[in-house]
């Protein structure tokens, strides 16, 4: 019998990507074929995002694309938009199943039963946010590891706690088992992900304690910490960055450089605390890589507040800034705040932050010319050039040699800039 074809589309964060990778493995092990999202399939699974209006828009567009591709296919919508707009999606006749985040891990069971003629209502599925197996087959070269879900912070602009639920941490034994399994599959880098991972806490084990235990798991893999809020963990973590297996990079979410705006956002740190964290880590590793998220145009943000944000962005020298224009999310406290900023001003401020980011990206990457990076190979193109990221999370392209293989490390000496448009660095393999 011809194998059923399943297509996936994932929007949003690494947590969504981890969950999709795990589902992909379920379907491959279950005897299904995974096809591209632009191909004809028997089922389309869309793992949506709802963090901004634009994310909702892209999620809706993706749903229409799948339907147009094959109106007869089974259409499964899951992810944060499924939690945020459940009723509306359930009324959408094009969608076969709307599956909330808490039940996402059981989508293989749902579809496999469907194709065997047994129709299950999504709400009969297991309600477990950690119901995901180790991802052997995945769309990524590094293995994403979910350690935590949900958040209790309720920052005034953020919809995530409403769609990902309260903060919950995964038991260490399950995390360790997951890491040993993916190391066994040949993954050379694990990326720890969640919603507010710095707040990890399980049976007395906190985030620093977790990192320490993970660094003691034997195996030829390195550990990367995914996006993290600048709170919930202590200074003990900073010293751990001198461990050769913990990569010297943090995506530390600043959001604003104005204490007045941080208070309105109900963020749990001050600008001073943020910058002292940066300086402490840089005192241990001077070329440590910081990237961040910044929201421009938060209600009440004055020119003065914005200048403070620009000052911190410049001073910290982030090698990348994910710039968000404030986006009203229904149901959040900021929705009802006064002094919403005109779109035109948001666009102007966003452009200013991007310019600052571009300048520092260039400077930070240039500082690696003449230095070595241990590059995890992600792709090898037709011209025998390989590409991937070094431990400092900088993208490098180099001429592949016989030992160069996808998902393997190559030590590379950075020699200059690559000729292509992507701002990659060029290097040569160090034998
Ligand atoms: S810490 Fe704030 S921004 Fe981050 S997920 Fe929680 S509520 Fe949202």
CA-closest candidate to residue 294, choices 237, 240, 360: 360
CA distance 419 to 387: 13
Residue pair 16/24 in contact (Cβ under 8 Å)? The answer is no
414: helix, coil or strand? strand
The SS3 of residue 154 is coil
Residue 215: is it exposed, middle or buried by C-beta count within 10 angstroms (0-12/13-18/19+)?
middle
Q: Which atom of ligand 1 is nearest to the CA of 266?
A: 2
**321 touches 353 (CB < 8 A):** yes
Task: Report the pLDDT averaged over residues 313-321.
Answer: 97
% helix / strand / coil in the chain, to the nearest 5?
35, 25, 40
Residue 101 above 90 pLDDT?
yes
Q: Measured at the alpha carbon of residue 174, what is the angle toward residues 143 and 188, in degrees to the nearest 5?
A: 25
Asked whether residue 326 carries a pLDDT value surpassing 90, the answer given is yes
Distance separating alpha carbons of residues 189 and 175, to the nearest angstrom: 14
Q: How far apart are CA 103 and CA 122, in angstroms?
A: 7
- In contact, 122 and 171? CB cutoff 8 Å: no
Percent of the chain with pLDDT over 90: 92
Q: Is 195 in the pocket of ligand 1 (CB under 6 A)?
A: yes
- Range of lowest pLDDT (68-77, 285-294, 415-424): 415-424
Q: How is residue 94 written in tokens?
A: 């094009």
Supply the pLDDT for residue 139: 79
Cβ(15) to ligand 1 under 6 A?
Answer: no
Q: How confident is the model at residue 3 (pLDDT cuts 50, 70, 90)?
A: very high
Q: From residue 117, how far is each of 74, 93, 110, 112 by CA, in Å?
A: 13, 20, 11, 9
Tell me how far apart the alpha carbons of residues 360 and 105 are, in angstroms, rounded to a whole number: 40
Mean of per-residue pLDDT scores for the chain: 96
| Res 261: pLDDT | 98
CA of 156 to the centre of ligand 1 (A): 9
341 lines ligand 1 (CB under 6 A): no
3-state class (DSSP) for residue 53: helix
Each residue's pLDDT tens digit, 195-239? 999 999 999 999 999 999 999 999 999 999 999 999 988 889 999
The tens digit of pLDDT for each residue in 245-298 reads 999 999 999 999 999 999 999 999 999 999 999 999 999 999 999 999 999 999
| Ligand 1 atom closest to residue 268's alpha carbon, by position in its atom list | 1
H/E run at residue 160? helix 160-164
pLDDT of amino acid 51: 93
- C-alpha 196 to ligand 1 mean position (Å): 7
- The DSSP letter of residue 326 is -
Question: At CA 365, angle to CA 362 and CA 366, rounded to 5?
Answer: 80
Q: What percent of the chain has pLDDT over 70?
A: 100
Give the end-to-end CA distance of the chain in Å, rounded to a whole number. 49
pLDDT for 129: 97
Tell me the DSSP string of 268-321.
SS-HHHHHHHHHHHHHH-TT-EEEEEEEES-TT--HHHHHHHHHHHHHHT-SEE
Residues near 218 by beta carbon (within 8 Å), at least 6 away in sequence: none
User: Is the Cβ–Cβ distance between 301 and 256 less than 8 Å?
Assistant: yes
Residue ID of nearest Cα to ligand 1 atom 1:
153
The angle formed by the CA atoms of residues 366, 372 and 373, to the nearest 5 degrees, is 90
Model pLDDT for residues 124-150, shown as the tens digit of each residue:
999 999 999 999 988 788 999 999 999
**Cα–Cα distance measured from residue 23 to residue 333, given in angstroms and rounded to the nearest whole number:** 34
Distances (CA, A) of 38 to 8, 13, 66, 72: 10, 21, 8, 15
Asked whether 151 lines ligand 1 (CB < 6 A), one says yes
- pLDDT, position 124: 96
Q: How far apart are CA 399 and CA 415, in angstroms?
A: 12
Enter the tokens of residue 130. Answer: 């950690």
CA atoms lying within 13 Å on the CB side of residue 216: 7
In sequence order, the 6+-apart residues with CB closer than 8 A to the CB of 402 are none
pLDDT value at residue 279: 96
Q: Which pLDDT does position 193 carry in this prediction?
A: 98
| Confidence (pLDDT) at 420 | 75
Closest residue by Cα to atom 8, ligand 1, is 158
pLDDT at residue 77 in the model: 98
Tell me how far apart the alpha carbons of residues 244 and 156 are, in angstroms, rounded to a whole number: 38
Closest atom of ligand 1 to CA, residue 164: 5
pLDDT at 146: 98
Tokens of 145: 């590891």
Assign 423 a pLDDT band (cuts: 50, 70, 90).
confident
Please report the pLDDT score of residue 414 as a whole number: 97
Residue 252: which residues within 8 A CB-CB, separation 6 or more? 228, 230, 274, 277, 278, 290, 291, 292
Q: Please work out whether the CB of residue 150 comes within 6 Å of at least one atom of ligand 1.
A: no
Check pLDDT > 80 for residue 91.
Answer: yes
Confidence tier at 363 by pLDDT (50, 70, 90): very high
Atom of ligand 1 nearest to the CA of 158: 8
Residues found in the chain: 431
Q: Is the pLDDT of residue 7 over 90?
A: yes
């Amino acid at each position: 019998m011809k194998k059923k074809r399943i297509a996936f589309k994932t929007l949003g964060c690494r947590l969504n990507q981890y969950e999709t990778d795990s589902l992909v493995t379920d379907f491959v092990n279950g005897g299904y074929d995974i096809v591209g999202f632009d191909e004809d399939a028997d089922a389309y699974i869309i793992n949506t995002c709802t963090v901004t209006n634009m994310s909702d828009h892209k999620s809706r567009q993706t749903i229409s694309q799948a339907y147009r591709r094959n109106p007869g296919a089974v259409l499964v919508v899951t992810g944060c938009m499924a939690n945020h707009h459940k009723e509306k999606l359930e009324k959408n006749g094009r969608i076969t199943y709307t599956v909330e985040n808490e039940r996402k891990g059981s989508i293989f069971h749902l579809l496999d039963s469907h194709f065997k003629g047994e129709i299950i209502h999504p709400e009969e599925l297991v309600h477990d946010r950690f119901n995901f197996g180790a991802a052997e087959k995945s769309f990524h070269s590094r293995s994403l590891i979910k350690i935590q879900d949900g958040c209790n912070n309720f920052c005034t602009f953020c919809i995530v706690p409403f769609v990902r639920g309260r903060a919950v941490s995964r038991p260490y034994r399950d995390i360790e088992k997951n890491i040993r399994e993916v190391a066994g599959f040949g993954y050379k880098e694990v990326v720890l992900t969640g919603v507010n991972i710095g707040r990890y806490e399980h049976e007395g084990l906190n985030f620093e304690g977790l990192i320490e235990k993970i660094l003691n798991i034997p195996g030829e893999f390195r550990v990367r910490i995914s996006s993290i809020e600048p709170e919930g963990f202590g200074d003990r973590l900073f010293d751990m960055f001198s461990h050769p297996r913990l990569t010297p990079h943090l995506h530390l979410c600043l959001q604003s450089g104005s204490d007045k705006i941080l208070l309105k956002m109900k963020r749990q740190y001050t600008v001073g605390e943020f910058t002292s964290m940066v300086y402490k880590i840089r005192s241990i590793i001077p070329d440590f890589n910081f990237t961040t998220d910044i929201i421009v145009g938060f209600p009440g943000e004055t020119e003065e507040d914005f200048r403070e944000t620009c000052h911190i962005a410049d001073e910290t020298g982030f090698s990348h800034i994910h710039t968000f224009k404030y986006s009203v999310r229904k149901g959040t406290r900021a929705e009802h705040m006064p002094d919403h900023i005109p779109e035109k001003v948001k666009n102007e401020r966003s452009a200013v932050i991007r310019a600052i980011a571009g300048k520092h990206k260039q400077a930070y990457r240039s500082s690696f010319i003449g230095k070595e990076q241990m590059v995890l190979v992600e792709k090898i193109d037709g011209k025998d050039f390989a590409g991937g990221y070094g431990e400092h999370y900088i993208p490098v392209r180099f001429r592949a040699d016989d030992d160069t293989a996808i998902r393997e490390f190559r030590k590379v000496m950075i020699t200059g800039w690559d000729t292509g448009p992507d701002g990659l660095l060029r290097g040569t393999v160090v034998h």
